[in-house]
Amino acid sequence: MSTDVLNENAIRVVALCGSLRPGSRTCKALEMALEGARSLGAVTKLIDLREYTLPFCDGNIDEDAYPSDVFRLRREIREAHGIILGTPEYHGGPSGVLKNALDLMGFEEFQGKVVGLVGTAGGSTGAINSLNSLRIISRSLRAWVIPHQVSIARASKVFDAEGHLLDEGLRTRLYELGREVARFSFLLASRHGMDFLRQWESMVENPGAEGI
């Protein structure tokens, strides 16, 4: 398996932006992460929820009344191999618009997918609480969440007026996050990855665990 260039016809990575703010810094950060995924040949797409009309998830099982954008969003996430979730932190948690979008989806869209996490915050502590929440949500959807994540504190200070990230270290981390999502997505989608998973699942119990 090459870690330099992946098969661009096979690997698709999408980024779901949970900010409705014009000139969103979260969207800018996700674009940098997608740039990293593209450097390995992945096909990428930024999903900007400002361009979707989504109802509040109210538990209604009759989906005939849902607008077409719900099914459009589900299709775009379902067709992706890797997903990057991005959110601003509001009151210690992810944005309501992102949580609502996730509530309108389920296992069919996320199960077995690789997920990377990006958060922005106005305060000095960053978006760690939001990322922890998204990690739990992603695991509940049976997705594989990569350990590497990017939390951007004092977002108004590290982006300029044109939306350029001034911190080179953060830029590098976002770029590498996108590359990691693409790499692991390729691994899970490849024949070698599937063979590994089948062998792993068929292994006998660890004899070292006897008596525990």
Residue 7 domain-assigned (yes or no): no
Q: What is the pTM of this model?
A: 0.86
CATH number at residue 197: 3.40.50.360
Residue 210 domain-assigned (yes or no): no
What pLDDT digit, counting tens, does each position of 24-60 carry?
999 999 999 999 999 999 999 999 999 999 999 987 7
Q: How far is CA 183 from CA 12, 88, 109, 208, in A?
A: 11, 26, 19, 32
| Count of domains observed in the chain | 1
Residue 3 domain-assigned (yes or no): no
Residue 111 domain-assigned (yes or no): yes
What pLDDT digit, counting tens, does each position of 97-131 carry?
999 999 999 999 999 999 999 999 999 989 999 99
- End-to-end distance of the chain based on CA atoms, in angstroms? 38
Residue 166 domain-assigned (yes or no): yes
Structural domain span for residue 151: 12-203
Q: What is the pLDDT of residue 143?
A: 96
Q: What is the pLDDT of residue 1?
A: 35
Residue 2 domain-assigned (yes or no): no
Residue 18 domain-assigned (yes or no): yes
